[in-house]
């Protein structure tokens, strides 16, 4: 893990990059990183995020600034700006079931080519996907999903980069921290090594490439 | 009684001690208000929590503890938090005993449509498809009709949420089951006759010899 | 969760049952349950366990008592009795890669039909399995694995059945606690509700069917 | 120098600060003893630990903290523990920078066989197949020959561990690389000539113009 400033971290992300951003309706999202993405005007982003949050909050800021060109998400109904941009064909949107979304990212992070899920069989979601039978039951083949960057928000980070998450702010963060080439983390608190007990670490240090330093 | 409260109270009677229950937004959320205090039900919020508690008192809300709509909630003693892979592992893996969801349409075969109106409302399905595919028991809690049109239809015209039929539909007028593979009128709301339900229901309903009144 | 005695719990398991048993070389294995399985002489078991441990320890006791008729595991090299029983065709053994073993169980517990793994492609492990291409790369389709019973060992259990695990005794226990019809748990300590912080719970209470009570 | 120590010392030089490293049992385990103290390497034990430390002092062993062979180990400050799904997610997902494994045979194409001898030794593959498939860099640490027979063979006669070629083989006599797709002699052990290595190696080796001596 390398400690960096938020400016340095975001400077590594080129316009047009694919980014996974943790959070669920803006809860558990690395706000400081997104503010800086907006400030540095990274355009044409491929965003992989559970939802579009709401205007002004979480990934909603990226839609306010019209920085997103492609979106993979599960629900964008609470962000009218994202809806508008989708209906105006300014962004290409792939809406997928939430359990499928997280399993595809987990597969990407865990070296699996994909998973077989019953979710979506016989619905619009099945269009263009392979249907695979196992013991007489039908499943959709859902393939792995990865990104160039994962922007992750933790509760505690220690000096090595071990991470814990708080309450419902955990959500997609630990899974995304495994599924990108470069993992950039903000933490509410940075604490000395040993403060986090081994059994409480959720994301082990070697997964973290850059931690945004205090101050 | 308010139609929504009739629905919520009736659905609450379907829950049992020890059940892991996931409530969708809208009417389903109200169900938690009508669960008897001695019933030990675990409520899951799919953003990563089992043991959701009531809305926190003034000044006690924490920004990192919310429901799936992003609104502040509390956590009961014995709550557990986890990531989204675990949350949907619980849902898709059959560990959720009951899910209560809103609906746009349910048809005579028990198929539910509740996630999009093509060309009009395309918010995304969120967790709905996984919940209907994976929960042990799927209960739809919705008004019987919207703008004078039956929501219990012969065949869903809207895109399906799942091909797995739901188990029970609870409306302000009736309880409809699908145990035999076909829509069956199980109960009527207080003061509502079987004929009245049939009159406002597009789907053909199987009507048993006796149709009791809902206990609320 | 229902508190039961170890005798009552094991009495629920019929001879010939399929059982998943947590532990890695006997570490994190519910020894009291296995001792009772031996005492009650449950025969013809289908055992799903990472390894065969060593004679006298963990699942090794089941081989000492010749109670296993089928075994799915990743490694049995350190238990000569299990090896003997395999070579004498007393038990049918399916040896599979460890990453595949745990993903198959996870799939079983999480409602997935299976996963696509690169592990084993082009080796003996691929025999009889479907090969599936995703983006030009070949994967083996490995199907979900479940059992009638999971025998799980935790460190702390609270009165509701929430579980935590200690150090390397966690291993397969949390995954198995999701993949069986009936989950039976022993814990090193039973503590009041609230002692385990929500963020530290690894196995949430609703997954546990029976907890072996103290005394 | 003891042949095993030559191998372990040479392999240790392949590790870099920040690397997540998985060491197999046998000779690979010895590598940890030769990593310079200022090199911050994370060692993973696939039974669920990053941050393995040395064998605990007398009386400090804990039965719930062991290596993948079930032997007591310690955990360094900053260690992390996790379940087996996570452990193999790390391995198969390319998060392990280097794995060091023992071998029975490595052939001219870099294919490794290290998990069974049909009819003789059928212990199971444990984590070996996932490690060879998933780790960024695979190093085989083994004696060059066993009972006078080369373990660097033209073509593996034993069942393969993976079709993914290994990156490096370190023996008591030589370092052999596979960067170009073919076995290449990279280094010789102190006091061992290129001719001596070739004489005891069954596989055809590509011999570069200069073959330096191992630094240990």
Which pLDDT tens digit goes with each residue over A59-72?
Answer: 999 999 999 999 99
Would C23 be classed as within a structural domain?
Answer: yes
Q: Are A111 and D49 in contact (CB < 8 Å)?
A: no
Structural domain count, chain A: 1
Spatial distance between the Cα atoms of D133 and A114, rounded to a whole number of angstroms: 16
One DSSP character per residue, B120-133 reads TB----TTHHHHHH
CB-nearest to D89 from A178, A199, A201 is A178
Spatial distance between the Cα atoms of A79 and A61, rounded to a whole number of angstroms: 10
- For chain C, say whether D159 makes contact (Cβ under 8 Å): yes
Residue D85 predicted with pLDDT over 80: yes
Give the gap in angstroms from C-alpha A55 to the nearest C-alpha of chain B.
Answer: 13
Give the contacts of B23 (CB within 8 A, at least 6 positions apart). B29, B31, B32, B43, B99, B100
Confidence of residue D120 (pLDDT cuts 50, 70, 90): confident
CB-nearest to B79 from C109, C159, C198 is C198
Would A133 be classed as within a structural domain?
Answer: no
CB-nearest to B64 from A27, A51, A95 is A27
Q: Are A170 and C135 in contact (CB < 8 Å)?
A: no
Residue B84 predicted with pLDDT over 90: yes
What is the per-residue pLDDT for B25? 86
Q: How far is CA D1 from its chain centroid?
A: 19
Confidence of residue D114 (pLDDT cuts 50, 70, 90): very high
Where helices occur in chain B by DSSP H, the ranges are 3-12, 27-30, 84-92, 128-134, 194-199
Confidence of residue C150 (pLDDT cuts 50, 70, 90): very high
One DSSP character per residue, A161-183 reads --EE--GGG-TTHHHHTTSEEEE
- For chain A, say whether B60 makes contact (Cβ under 8 Å): no
Confidence of residue D180 (pLDDT cuts 50, 70, 90): confident
CATH number for the domain harbouring residue C158: 3.40.1080.10
C176 CB neighbours in chain B (<8 A) are none
Confidence of residue B106 (pLDDT cuts 50, 70, 90): very high
CATH fit for domain D3-199, picks 3.20.20.80, 3.40.1080.10, 3.40.50.460, 3.40.50.1820 = 3.40.1080.10
Q: Average model confidence (pLDDT) for chain D? A: 96
Q: Are C118 and A116 in contact (CB < 8 Å)?
A: no
- Angle between helix D84-92 and C98-109 (nearest 10): 120
What is the per-residue pLDDT for D122? 85
Give the contacts of B59 (CB within 8 A, at least 6 positions apart). none
What is the per-residue pLDDT for A47? 98
Q: Where are the domains of chain B?
A: 3-199
What is the per-residue pLDDT for D211? 97
- For chain A, say whether D79 makes contact (Cβ under 8 Å): yes
pTM: 0.98
Would A177 be classed as within a structural domain?
Answer: yes
A198 CB neighbours in chain C (<8 A) are 167
* Radius of gyration in angstroms for the set of CA atoms belonging to chain A, rounded to a whole number: 17
Confidence of residue B1 (pLDDT cuts 50, 70, 90): confident
Q: Are A137 and C199 in contact (CB < 8 Å)?
A: no
Residue D25 predicted with pLDDT over 90: no
- According to DSSP, the β-strands at D74-81 and D49-53 are antiparallel
One DSSP character per residue, C80-130 reads HHHHHHHHTTSSEEEE--HHHHHHHHHHHHTT-SEEEE-TTTTSGGGTT--
CA–CA distances in Å: residue A205 to residues A13, C106, D16: 21, 24, 15
Would C167 be classed as within a structural domain?
Answer: yes
What is the per-residue pLDDT for B190? 96
Question: Tens digits of per-residue pLDDT, B38-75?
Answer: 999 999 999 999 999 999 999 999 999 999 999 999 99
- For chain A, say whether C198 makes contact (Cβ under 8 Å): yes
Spatial distance between the Cα atoms of B168 and B101, rounded to a whole number of angstroms: 11
Cβ-based burial of C21 (10 A; exposed 0-12, middle 13-18, buried ≥19):
buried
Question: Of the candidates D181, D170, D177, D171, which has an alpha carbon nearest to the alpha carbon of residue D208?
Answer: D177
Question: Tens digits of per-residue pLDDT, C35-67?
Answer: 999 999 999 999 999 999 999 999 999 999 999
Question: Tens digits of per-residue pLDDT, A138-170?
Answer: 999 999 999 999 999 999 999 999 999 999 999
Where in the sequence is the domain holding C33, given as residue range(s)? 2-96+145-213
Sheet holding C131-134, edge to edge: A131-134, A137-143, A114-117, C114-117, C137-143, C131-134
Spatial distance between the Cα atoms of D197 and B125, rounded to a whole number of angstroms: 64
Mean pLDDT of A78-89: 94
What is the per-residue pLDDT for B121? 82
Q: Average model confidence (pLDDT) for chain B? A: 96
What is the per-residue pLDDT for D167? 98
Tell me the residue length of chain A: 215
What is the per-residue pLDDT for D140? 98
Mean pLDDT of D54-63: 95
Mean pLDDT of D187-200: 97
B66 CB neighbours in chain C (<8 A) are none
Residues in chain C whose Cβ is within 8 Å of chain B:
1, 106, 109-112, 158-160, 162, 178, 193-194, 198-199, 201, 204-207
Would A124 be classed as within a structural domain?
Answer: no
What is the per-residue pLDDT for C166? 98
Residue A132 predicted with pLDDT over 80: yes
Question: Tens digits of per-residue pLDDT, B141-192?
Answer: 999 999 999 999 999 999 999 999 999 999 999 999 999 889 999 999 999 9
Give the gap in angstroms from C-alpha C50 to the nearest C-alpha of chain A.
Answer: 19
Q: How are the residues of chain D apportioned to helix, strand and coil, as percentages rounded to the nearest 5?
A: 20, 25, 55
Question: Tens digits of per-residue pLDDT, A178-188?
Answer: 999 999 999 99
Q: Give D150's strand partners.
A: D145
Give the contacts of B165 (CB within 8 A, at least 6 positions apart). B109, B110, B111, B178, B181
One DSSP character per residue, A34-89 reads HHHHHHTT--SEEEE-SB---TTSTTHHHHHTT-EEEEEESB-TT-HHHHHHHHTT
What is the per-residue pLDDT for B181? 87
Best of D21, D44, D66, D80 to disrupt the A interface (most A CBs within 10 Å) is D80
Active site residue D46: yes
Contact C150, C174 (CB under 8 A): no
Where helices occur in A111-176 by DSSP H, the ranges are 173-176
Spatial distance between the Cα atoms of A152 and A208, rounded to a whole number of angstroms: 9
Would C130 be classed as within a structural domain?
Answer: no
The nearest alpha carbon in chain D to C73 belongs to: D124
Mean pLDDT of D131-148: 97
């Amino acid at each position: 893990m390398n400690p960096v400033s938020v400016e340095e971290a975001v400077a590594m992300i080129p316009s047009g990059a694919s980014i996974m951003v943790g959070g669920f309706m803006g809860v558990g999202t690395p706000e400081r990183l997104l503010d800086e993405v907006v400030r540095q005007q990274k355009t044409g982003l491929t965003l992989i995020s559970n939802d579009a949050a709401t205007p002004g909050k979480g990934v909603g800021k990226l839609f306010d600034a019209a920085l997103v060109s492609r979106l993979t998400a599960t629900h964008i109904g609470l962000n009218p700006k994202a809806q508008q941009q989708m209906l105006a064909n300014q962004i290409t949107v792939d809406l997928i079931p939430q359990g499928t979304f997280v399993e595809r990212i987990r597969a990407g992070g865990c070296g699996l080519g994909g998973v077989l899920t019953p979710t979506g069989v016989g619905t619009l979601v099945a269009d263009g996907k392979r249907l695979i039978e196992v013991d007489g039951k039908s499943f959709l083949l859902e393939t792995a999903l990865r990104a160039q960057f994962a922007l992750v928000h933790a509760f505690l980070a220690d000096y090595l980069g071990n991470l814990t998450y708080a309450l419902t702010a955990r959500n997609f963060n630990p899974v995304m921290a495994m599924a990108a080439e470069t993992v950039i983390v903000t933490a509410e608190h940075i604490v000395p090594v040993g403060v986090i007990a081994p059994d409480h670490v959720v994301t082990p240090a070697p997964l973290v490439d850059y931690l945004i330093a205090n101050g | 009684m308010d139609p929504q409260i009739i629905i919520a109270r009736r659905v609450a009677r379907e829950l049992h001690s020890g059940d892991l229950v996931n409530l969708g937004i809208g009417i389903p959320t109200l169900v938690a208000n009508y669960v008897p205090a001695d019933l030990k039900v675990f409520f899951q919020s799919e953003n990563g929590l089992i043991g959701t508690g009531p809305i926190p008192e003034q000044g006690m809300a924490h920004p990192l503890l919310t429901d799936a709509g992003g609104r502040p909630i509390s956590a009961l003693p014995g709550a557990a938090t986890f990531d989204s892979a675990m949350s949907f592992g619980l849902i898709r893996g059959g560990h959720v005993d009951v899910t209560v969801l809103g609906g746009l349409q349910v048809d005579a075969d028990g198929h539910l449509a509740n996630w999009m109106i093509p060309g009009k409302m395309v918010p995304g399905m969120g967790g709905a498809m996984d919940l209907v595919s994976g929960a042990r028991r799927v209960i739809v809690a919705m008004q019987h009709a919207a703008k004078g049109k039956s929501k219990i239809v012969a065949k869903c015209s809207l895109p399906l949420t799942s091909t797995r039929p739901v188990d029970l539909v609870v409306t302000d007028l009736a309880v409809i089951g699908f145990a035999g593979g076909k829509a069956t009128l199980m109960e009527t709301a207080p003061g509502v006759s079987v004929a009245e339900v049939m009159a406002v229901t597009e789907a053909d309903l199987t009507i048993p010899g006796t149709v009791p009144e809902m206990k609320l």
